[in-house]
Chain A
Amino acid sequence: MDSSHRRLVLRGLCACALYATARSALARVLPSQLTPLVSPGYKPTDTDERGIWQACDRLEEELAASNLLVRNDALKAYVRAVTGRLLGDTAADLRLYIVRNPEFNASMAPNGMTIVHTGLLARMRNEAQLAAVIGHESGHYLLRHSVRNWRDLKRKSATMAVLAIGGAAATGGTGTDWYDIANAINTAILLSLFSFSREMESEADAYGLKLMAAAHYPPAAAAQVWAQLIDERKASAAARKKQYKDKAMSIVSTHPPTAERMTDLTQSAAELERAAGNGEHFDNRRTEWLAAVAPVRSMLLDEQIKLNDAGASLYLLGSLAQDGWDGTLRYYEGEAYRLRDEPGDGARAADSYSAAIRFSDAPPEAYRAHGYAELKAGRTEEGRRALARYLELEPNAADAAMVHFTLGQ
């Protein structure tokens, strides 16, 4: 189902989703006020909650067989370890699924099904930031927010199902209608589970901070995650000469927080850091994070840059480059310019590729890209040298035949 169809269906659903409309200010939820409503080994007892677990179990069955799962054991072990640091024994009730999806998102369903998108991993600058997101989702889990939602929405579920089916069929026309309908029902379930009110989002924020501080992650990382996401969306909009609109991209990308939530996050984090005292040592574990994500860094960047959201791509690369440029980042910077293809971008891309190959970690594709860029600029000798180097590094490249042909011209 192409993504624009999905957005049309979801806008129809979102219209009746649980977003509190009253604009009165909420009192800040204090992390210290919160206690978990589930303990390790928790199983649902009442019919509402058993129903919600059954719905989640059905979704999890599909997910467990998905062709979009990342099966990298080392990466999963790393993310599980972060979850373990935050949740202790409760982490044993969770099952982690890392899904190939370039949107920034993570979720933790009431039955323990935990989903992390590769789009989230692409954007984190350190382990504390990842912990902030997992901590926030854990807050929803520990405070049983989905069950609260489910009860509120039970009487609306029939209407929602009809709207979902109607919406899906109305946007069909390319032969994907049947899948749209099944998908829309799943989406309706997901929406009912994960449409949290402002109050619930604030509670999850506060709980996340509490978990972070207890695990010695700097609570300030939470607000940083959101600030980065907002800046990225602003960069994306600016590149298209649009106004930045504070809204979710789709159901599977997270709604950026309001200014109010940002203030609360910042204040609560500051309080927690002061209360920790001089003996406390917060560690964002950036080194551990960079080591864990290094093997998949290319894959994560590839799926972002190739969407050609130029403002977002360049923002992301610049953000990651604050830890230092390397061959991979310069190569993808070149790719971002090459795909953006605005006046002068050919030269910008060429500069980025030239910079990339000066690093020892330059991926072989950087030599190919540099080669083609030099040929395009009329620097034939350097171009041919670079393409030959590419073939030396990757003799069995998918496009080896094409590059040989180009060299033979």
Chain B
Amino acid sequence: MRRLTIVFTTCALLAGCVTGYELVSPATVTVAKNSMRVRPSISWNKAPSGPYDIPQEESWTENGPLLDRLEFIGALPSGQAIAKQRPKDDRKVPVFRADMTPQDLVSMVESYYRIKLDAKIFESTSVKPVTFLGKPGVQFDYNFVSSDEVKRRGRSVFAVVDGKLYLTSLDGAALHYFEAALPEFEAIVASASIP
């Protein structure tokens, strides 16, 4: 019984070590199925797709997704959601619509965090107009606590261009990691363009 336990445990832990991360070098690169062009100034790790990732999504991390995550969603058409979900799911992230008000877009992002990222506490700290991809957009700042109990902060910057959603967001641990990544995130957002 004890040997079986050791075998099971070892296999399980090794299975968790297969990573699937790819290096992103500090140079101009297109992301999210070539929907946006950005210029990172440090190396990032491109994460493997998660269970809720949609095709138009790409995810980067510097220190691992528990500590910091940078997400890109590009050219998402009206009528689709920012997360994979089934029609019969009990809780559904509202789909993106091209005529959404700023509050609708903010609610959509908040629902995503509560439903898919298990945020038990979510607080909006700021919603303000910004320019993103050369167009009028929204910058949404928030903090949240998921069931892993880590306090996190987030910033989502998004705009609707030709009826499609373009979104870049950073979230990370409130203790150090979010703030450490923020200047690089701001530079990436400022560098973003539609190719």
Contacts and interface: CB of A to CB of B under 8 A. Distances in A.
A309 B91 CA distance: 5
A68 B111 contact: no
B125 to A, nearest CB: 6
Interface stretch (A213-221, A234-242, A267-275, A325-333): A234-242
Contacts of B138: 402
Nearest to B86: A240
Contacts of B93: 308
B127 interface: yes
Interface stretch (B29-37, B147-155, B158-166, B187-195): B147-155
A102 B99 CA distance: 30
A258 interface: no
Nearest to A159: B1
Interface stretch (A16-24, A28-36, A38-46, A161-169): A161-169
Contacts of A96: none
A263 interface: no
Interface residues of B, number: 60
A174 interface: yes
A369 B94 CA distance: 16
Contacts of B76: none
Contact of A165 (B8, B97, B102, B104): B8
Contacts of A161: 5
B110 A405 contact: no
A34 to B, nearest CB: 35
Interface string B89-119: 1111111010101111011001100111110
A306 interface: yes
B12 A169 contact: yes
Contacts of B5: 158, 161-162
Contacts of A176: 65-66, 148
Interface string B1-32: 10011001101110110000000000000000
Contacts, number: 146
Interface in A149-180: 158, 161-162, 165-166, 168-170, 172-179
B180 interface: no
Name the residue in B11, B64, B90, B110 with the highest tally of chain A Cβ atoms < 10 Å from its Cβ: B90
**Interface size of A as a range:** 35 or more
Nearest to A162: B8
A336 to B, nearest CB: 11
Contacts of A372: 101, 103-104
B106 A399 contact: yes
B121 A174 contact: no
Contacts of A178: 16
Contact of B12 (A68, A100, A166): A166
Name the residue in B1, B110, B121, B122 with the highest tally of chain A Cβ atoms < 10 Å from its Cβ: B121
Contacts of A175: 47, 61, 64-66
19 contacts: A2-B117, A3-B147, A66-B149, A67-B151, A68-B121, A165-B8, A176-B66, A178-B16, A240-B88, A308-B92, A309-B91, A335-B107, A338-B107, A341-B97, A369-B103, A372-B104, A399-B103, A399-B126, A406-B102
Given A176-B148, A338-B104, 15 more contacts: A2-B118, A6-B118, A67-B150, A162-B5, A169-B16, A173-B50, A175-B65, A242-B88, A303-B120, A307-B114, A310-B92, A376-B101, A398-B124, A399-B102, A399-B124
The 4 closest A-B pairs by CB, nearest first: A399-B127, A169-B12, A401-B128, A177-B16
